[in-house]
Structure 1
């Protein structure tokens, strides 16, 4: 079911002006930091599109492709933080609908449709603190419009690691060693899997999970997220 913004008499999320049934008015939507030219694999912003970035050329990631409609910049960063840390679920639903529209267009342009959506799992402690897993909510919201099933129990968080936001790229990779596992009930072999998360930063989480999933026999692993961060200094 599509979230009906107009039912709740809410204005534009960004400027608070009347926006009809849309959560973001057309002028504000046009000003969003859309992800344009990007790496053909990890989706990091680049001056040109269709080619791998230097990092992906030097070391091919375990995941096959990242799909994200937006750059993690103002005001998208603030919207995601409100969804993730203040439990503003309607904002998350609106962002998920934008991601679903982006993916539907990508499928029409030839992007392979996955067999299953797998949300990035949270540790038990962090799930208890936050009260919900934002990646699981995004996967559930994507499942129906994309006609792809979600299996939130196929991936497990086996270690409660330090929050990734506090770490640099190398520390993030070390932090995630042995942090995840594939459930005994998972049916991953020979399947095309799409991981779902809110933001991709260094790609350490996607890399750790994609490596694990491919070892379990997956044929392809993509990552779907709301936004992609540029590299430091970009």
Structure 2
């Protein structure tokens, strides 16, 4: 098997443990794996930003600025947004290398098992949708791929109005943006939103607001990266 990033041969681990347990083959070679940084240490309980304080300044601002209870219970992010990850995301998300997304499956699934085992069996994964125009441009929705890694039923209940790319917006533009999400129907299941990156939290809170207004009892998020 070859590394999905650098195409180097991946030598399988033939230890007795792996032979007996039949572990899933890795999609990145050790060198490429080492370039990615899994978030570790103290982090904000709301947004997963590395922080010595229980809640980071950004989330404290959200708490003060929201006129009602925060629709997003909390977010958990897996990786930091270092240079290696930025390059991988560019190739995966913007250049259409769909298979590269499989490189993140193992850590994404582990993060779910470690942090969301308390969820009831009726919980569902809801991917952050792309607009029809953006979907046509990219060819696939990276958030839907992430949702497929989770051992939950997927529910594509959100739609998105087309607008300027999030990556092109300033922080202020993101925070003050109009909610672009609409619902296809009601929902009474707890939800985990699947998305690739948490930057300001606006996208996830907009999605959570739409879900809550249509019956969702609780909304969490599992994002690949904390920007």
Q: What range describes the TM-score normalised by the shorter chain of this pair?
A: 0.7 to 0.9
Task: Report the Cα distance in structure 1 between the residues aligned to 2:132 and 2:196, rounded to whole angstroms.
Answer: 18
Task: Report the Cα distance in structure 1 between the residues aligned to 2:61 and 2:196, rounded to whole angstroms.
Answer: 26
Task: Report the Cα distance in structure 2 between the residues aligned to 1:77 and 1:214, rounded to whole angstroms.
Answer: 32
Deviations 1:188-226 (A, max 9, x none): 23x211111111111110111112211222221111111
- Residue 112 of structure 1, aligned match among 102, 113, 119: 119
Task: Report the Cα distance in structure 1 between the residues aligned to 2:80 and 2:11, rounded to whole angstroms.
Answer: 23
Alignment of 1:137 with 2:124, yes or no, is no
Shift of 1:25: 3.2
Shift of 1:19: 4.0
TM-score, length basis structure 2: 0.81
- After superposition, the CA RMSD in angstroms is 2.2
Task: Report the Cα distance in structure 2 between the residues aligned to 1:178 and 1:28, rounded to whole angstroms.
Answer: 37
Task: Report the Cα distance in structure 2 between the residues aligned to 1:155 and 1:12, rounded to whole angstroms.
Answer: 31
TM-score, length basis structure 1: 0.79
Q: Retained in 2: the 8 A contact 1:11–1:17?
A: yes
In structure 2, runs of 5+ residues without a counterpart are 13-24, 64-69
Task: Report the Cα distance in structure 1 between the residues aligned to 2:194 and 2:226, rounded to whole angstroms.
Answer: 13
Q: 1:12 to 1:195 in 2, by over 3 A?
A: closer
- Residue 213 of structure 1, aligned match among 203, 211, 214: 211
SS at match of 2:48: coil
Deviations 1:148-201 (A, max 9, x none): 10012x1111x21111111122211333x14111112x4x23x21111111111
- Residue 94 of structure 2, aligned match among 85, 91, 109: 85
Residue in structure 2 matched with residue 232 of structure 1 by the alignment: none
Task: Report the Cα distance in structure 1 between the residues aligned to 2:172 and 2:28, rounded to whole angstroms.
Answer: 37
Residue in structure 1 matched with residue 183 of structure 2 by the alignment: 182
Shift of 1:127: 0.8
Find runs of 4+ consecutive structure 1 residues off by over 6 angstroms: none
Task: Report the Cα distance in structure 2 between the residues aligned to 1:124 and 1:118, rounded to whole angstroms.
Answer: 17
Q: 1:27 to 1:160 in 2, by over 3 A?
A: closer
- 1:41-120 superposed matches below 5 A: 41-46=46-51, 48=52, 51-60=54-63, 61-107=70-116, 111-112=118-119, 115-120=123-128
Alignment of 1:223 with 2:221, yes or no, is yes
SS at match of 1:225: strand
Task: Report the Cα distance in structure 2 between the residues aligned to 1:11 and 1:209, rounded to whole angstroms.
Answer: 34
Residue in structure 2 matched with residue 150 of structure 1 by the alignment: 154
Deviations 1:79-104 (A, max 9, x none): 12211112222210221332012211
Deviations 1:88-127 (A, max 9, x none): 222102213320122112245xx53570111111111111
Residue in structure 1 matched with residue 175 of structure 2 by the alignment: 173
Task: Report the Cα distance in structure 2 between the residues aligned to 1:58 and 1:125, rounded to whole angstroms.
Answer: 33
In structure 1, runs of 5+ residues without a counterpart are 1-5, 230-234
SS at match of 1:59: helix
Task: Report the Cα distance in structure 2 between the residues aligned to 1:12 and 1:119, rounded to whole angstroms.
Answer: 23
What is the count of residue pairs matched by the alignment?
Answer: 207
